[in-house]
Structure 1
Amino acid sequence: MNSKNKLAEMPIRPLVYTMAIPLMLSLLVQSLYNIVDSIFVARLSETALTAASLVYSVQFLMIAVGVGTAVGLNSLLSRKIGEHKTEEACQAATTGLFLMLFTSIIFYFAGIFLSDTIAFKMATDPELQTLCKQYLSINLVYCCGIFLQTYGQRLLQAVGDTVLSMISLIIGAILNIILDPIMIFGLFGCPAMGIRGAAIATVIGQMVGAIAALLFNRFRNPLIHAHLKNYHFRWRDVADIYRVGLPTIIMQAIGSIMTLVVNSILLPVSATAVAFFGVYYKLQNFLMMPINGLGQAAIPIVGYNYGNRKYHRVQQTWKVLLPTGAIIALCGTVIFWCFPGQLLQLFSASQEMLTLGIPALRIISVSFVMAAITILCGYFASGLGNGIINMVSAAIRQLILLVPCLLIFIKISGISHGWYAVWIAEIVACIYSYYMSHKLLKTIFAHKLEVRK
């Protein structure tokens, strides 16, 4: 069965799981190499771990732009294929490639000219500033790998091939994990490069993953190929990509802004609090990767069947997504509640970090099911071409409510009670995203009835 028929004909539950499991595995591996970076960097010093935590907010901004553009492109391509407009899909894929290259050039120049300024703004300690600059400049200057890797993976996902998408990401991630200790500590004749070595290992892994993804598209993608022959740039394609992509970029960027602001709130409390928050954020991202894989699998399924006017399959996808995501998140809650100390010890946690972090992880973990529902509702809406729901719900849970509540709770009751701010933010975001996505689904079925009449 080819990818096109699979999206149209395979029963929804096995289709969602068949497409989601490779994405879950690939995203888990991707998140794992971020965690491995931090584990090895933590062995250098807690200062180095703090630097990696501070810089992660800027890395996350870069990822936000790439992922957001790719989500918009994925949604557009899936709808075009569902409407049997393959040539228009290829034109849009070529436009998406140019957008990714243009974006990588912007971050390249930011790495050359702004690394010093960004590091200076992040910290006042000279050693911390130096470490931030070393790690950040390499990731920004050599960023083309992450953009092209993301692009290649989304083209494969748009035609339902999540296995090759997974393989391309795993290739880069495993290479990064292998190179990390070699370059950080100087093994097998390689000079010890410290935190710089972690950054170099990351960009090498991204570039190799990008090459793999592009080769898979060249030889194994049956429908979509980016090409210059007979290509005509269309602003309409750009608008369609960013109609979904821009809200996703803003949504992802909100996470970057949130980490910057939260770090600025925590740094006066203690540097250990900043280091802990960086560790928690990567652990939480690792847990949410299966949720994101499930949501990303839904985008081409929903987009294709919406474009093909098979609205009952869109509704079936909704009914499969939310219970599955809730079960995964509940498992994460149990792990974080039962083993918080063991999770923190992976990062060579000091006694101070354990005292701070163990109760914090337990408090935050209660909100994981609500976060999963919010994320999946956002992906579902994006597959239908609506990126606003995703953006607004992310703003509620990561910025609008979280930051002021955290600041107020810390000032009133101290940092141990500050983490309850997460509960408030997640509850409100969950209610909003579920209500709006369900309303969007009802609108689709109302339109279906009108067409029948």
Structure 2
Amino acid sequence: MLQNINIRKNTSRSKVRNKIIRIWELFREAVSGKEKNHTEGNIKKALFLLAIPMVLEMIFESVFAIVDIYFVSKLGDDAVATVGITESITTIVYAIGFGLSMATTALVARRIGEKKPEEASKVAFQAIVTGAIASIFIAVIGIFYSRDLLGLMGANSTIVNEMSGYTTIILGSNIIIMMLFINNAIFRSAGDAALSMRVLIVANCLNIILDPLLIFGLGPIPAMGVEGAAIATSIGRGIAVIYQFVLLAKGSGQIHLRREHIRIKLKTMKQLIGLSVGGIGQNIIATSSWIGLMRIMAEFGSAAIAGYTIAIRILIFILLPSWGLSNAAATLVGQNLGAEQPDRAEKSVWVAGKINVIFLGLIGVVFYLFPRFFIELFTMDQAIVSNGIQALQIISIGFVFYGLGMVLLNALNGAGDTKTPTILNFISFWLVEIPIAYFLAIHFAWDQKGVFYSIIIAEMTLTLIAFFWFKQGKWKLKKV
């Protein structure tokens, strides 16, 4: 009897050990950067191989936000509020970068699925040029009108007069953010997600080193305060962008930018802009709603804004890996539609959605039960802590809806259907979220709680509508 029990125990241990070894081997394969064909074979494996480097990439991207807010929080409420308000303004840059990256993903992934890497490389260059042109206009506005923008957002006189340099630097160097979006979309949509991950590792290592040096100073390096955080982030990201272009020029993955590709092709640029209008529109609608929410939050003072900002940065840290998983689903949708395998594309989305819902559901429980631990990692100011706890607890209630919604919307974008998510975002964030936030926070005097509850209601609305639309399957017929 005892011998049989020992045999079963050893067999069970052996199975667990073998499973761990298989997962580790898959992990190594995922981050190796080797070319992979995601239009055949096991869907879960394909999703895993794409998602792991994308998730790691998103984690490294979120480290930017976490590191900045950690060091800036040592400078006080106004410094944190400056970062938060600037982040809200910068969402316009993210919206354009997101839209162009969605268009790039749709076209590059489809060409890769069709086995046309040369055409994919041509699309990649046109996307880079389009993003660079858009960033010039944003830089001019940021350099000359940063104080006015902060004033419009309800910032106090200290922020406007003494800390506007942070906003000027971030907006003035927005081309760096734009190139990160587009170049990483090129790598991901070609199935070379590990390259995007490496770029973010480089950027984050530099940012972690430079942030405390430039914010607080050391030896001959003067203390630059909140402006030092902007400079550190721009340098870290800027060097990462240079690294991206080196990889594209060397042809380290499936996309290889050569001299013959460096030509303006207005037809391709027009196609990119046409596709990106939906992507830009949906993201501007979604992210500009955060500007509206921040404007409402400004009515409750710097401590409320600071607590909200810290909570949002923590939430972003968790949501970005989920966005990485949804990006993997978008790539699989694009490549499999290009390979004329719509059923495989749909199955990829449901697998990714299930994983995301479970992951974010568990994280939501942790945030709801232990919010103080996470907020106090950034500040011990109890006025800020209490606001941050309230934001983290309430917003985390809707995590299950966020998990499925982001996968469904990204899948539609990956198919080239950027119009539908635009409409859904408009309904959810402008017809639902902003009005509810205003009435709950101001009219019904719920204060900042009204803003937090409006976020949950909007995300629930978005996910439910997206679910029923996706089930109809019209996205499978989209041609790009």
User: TM-score, normalization: structure 2?
Assistant: 0.87
In 2, Cα distance between the equivalents of 1:304 and 1:32?
A: 30
Secondary structure in structure 1 of the residue aligned to 2:256: coil
Q: What are the within-5 Å matches in structure 2 for residues 52-201 of structure 1? A: 52-123=83-154, 125-201=156-232
Q: Which residue of 2 aligns with 1:437?
A: 470
Distance of aligned partners of 1:367 and 1:100 in 2 relative to their CA distance in 1, 3 Å threshold: same
Match of 2:20 in 1: none
In structure 2, how many angstroms separate the alpha carbons of the residues matched to 1:152 and 1:444?
26
CA distance in 2, matches of 1:316, 1:124: 47
190, 212, 216: which one aligns with 2:243 = 212
Does residue 1:11 correspond to 2:22, yes or no?
Answer: no
Q: Percent identity?
A: 26
SS at match of 1:394: helix
Change (3 A) 1:308 1:4: farther
Contact 2:250–2:256 (8 Å) recurs in 1: no
Tell me the equivalent position of 1:266. Answer: 297
Structure 2 residue 394 is the aligned partner of structure 1 residue 376: no
Query: Residue in 2 aligned with 1:451?
Result: none
Equivalence map 1:210-249=2 (5 Å)? 210-229=241-260, 233-249=264-280
Alpha-carbon distance between aligned partners in 2 of 1:346 and 1:245, rounded to the nearest angstrom: 38
Deviation at 1:322, TM superposition (A): 1.0
Q: Aligned residue pairs: how many?
A: 445
Post-superposition offset of 1:193:
0.3
Counterpart in 2 of 1:294? 325
Equivalent residue for 1:345? 376
> Can you list the C-alpha shifts for 1:18-76, whole angstroms capped at 9, x where unaligned?
11111111111111221211111110111111111111112222122122212211210
Q: C-alpha separation between the residues in 2 aligned to 1:417 and 1:34?
A: 24
The answer as to whether partners of 1:64 and 1:249 remain within 8 angstroms in 2 is: yes
Q: In the TM superposition, what whole-angstrom CA distance separates every residue of 1:149-186 from its partner, at most 9, and x where no partner exists?
A: 22322222122111111011121122112110110000
Partner of 1:385: 416
Q: 1:16 to 1:174 in 2, by over 3 A?
A: same
Give, as a single letter, the amino acid of the residue that structure 1 aligns with 2:194.
V
- Among 449, 455, 460, the alignment partner of 1:422 is 455
- Using the TM superposition, give the Cα deviation of residue 108 of structure 1 relative to its aligned residue in structure 2, in angstroms: 2.2
Give the conservation status (yes or no) of the 8 Å contact 2:102–2:276. Answer: yes
Offset, 1:416: 6.0
User: Which residue does 1:450 correspond to in 2?
Assistant: none
Q: How many Å apart are 1:230 and its aligned residue? A: 6.5
**Paired residue type of 1:343:** F
Distance 1:385 1:306 in 2: 10
- 144-153 vs 297-306, which deviates more? 144-153
Cα distance, 1:250 vs. partner?
A: 2.2
Supply the RMSD in Å over aligned alpha carbons: 2.2
* Residue correspondence of structure 1 range 263-412 to structure 2 within 5 A: 263-410=294-441, 411-412=443-444
Over 3 Å counting, the alpha-carbon distance change for 1:64 and 1:25 in structure 2 is same
Greater Cα shift, 349-358 or 172-181:
349-358
Match of 2:80 among 41, 49, 53: 49
Contact 2:97 2:181 (8 Å CA) reproduced: yes
When residues 314 and 358 of structure 1 are mapped into structure 2, their CA distance, relative to the original with a 3 A threshold, is: same
SS at the partner of 1:7?
coil
Contact kept in structure 2, 1:28 and 1:286, CA below 8 Å: yes
Task: State the SS of the aligned residue for 1:13.
Answer: helix
> Are the equivalent residues in 1 in contact too, given 2:297–2:448 (CA < 8 A)?
no
Cα gap change, 1:351/1:227 in structure 2, threshold over 3 Å: closer, same or farther? same
In 2: Cα distance, 1:164 partner to 1:5 partner: 13
Deviation of residue 231 (structure 1)?
5.9
Unaligned ranges ≥5, structure 1: 448-453
1:184-240 Cα distance to aligned partner (Å, 9 max, x none): 000243110001100000100111110111212222444323345276644442343
Rounded to whole Å, the distance in 2 between the matches of 1:134 and 1:397 is 34
Q: 1:105 to 1:296 in 2, by over 3 A?
A: same
Q: Give the Cα–Cα distance (whole angstroms) in 2 for the partners of residues 43 and 230 of structure 1.
A: 48
Q: Provide, for residues 238-275 of structure 1, a one-character-per-residue CA deviation record: whole Å limited to 9, x for no partner.
A: 34323442222222223432222112212222222222
| Bigger-Rg structure (1/2) | 2
Partner AA of 1:313 in structure 2: R
Match of 1:9, SS state, is: coil
Q: Is the 8 A contact 1:3 1:160 kept in 2?
A: no
Alignment partners' CA distance in 1, 2:440 and 2:295: 15
The 1:357/1:154 distance shift into structure 2, 3 A limit, reads: closer
Report the AA paired with residue 186 of structure 2: L
2:281 aligned residue (241, 250, 263): 250
Q: Mark the CA change 1:230 to 1:346 in structure 2 (over 3 Å): closer, same or farther.
A: closer
Q: Secondary structure of the equivalent of 1:226?
A: coil
Over 3 Å counting, the alpha-carbon distance change for 1:184 and 1:75 in structure 2 is: same
Q: Helix, strand or coil: the match of 2:473?
A: helix
Change (3 A) 1:131 1:32: farther
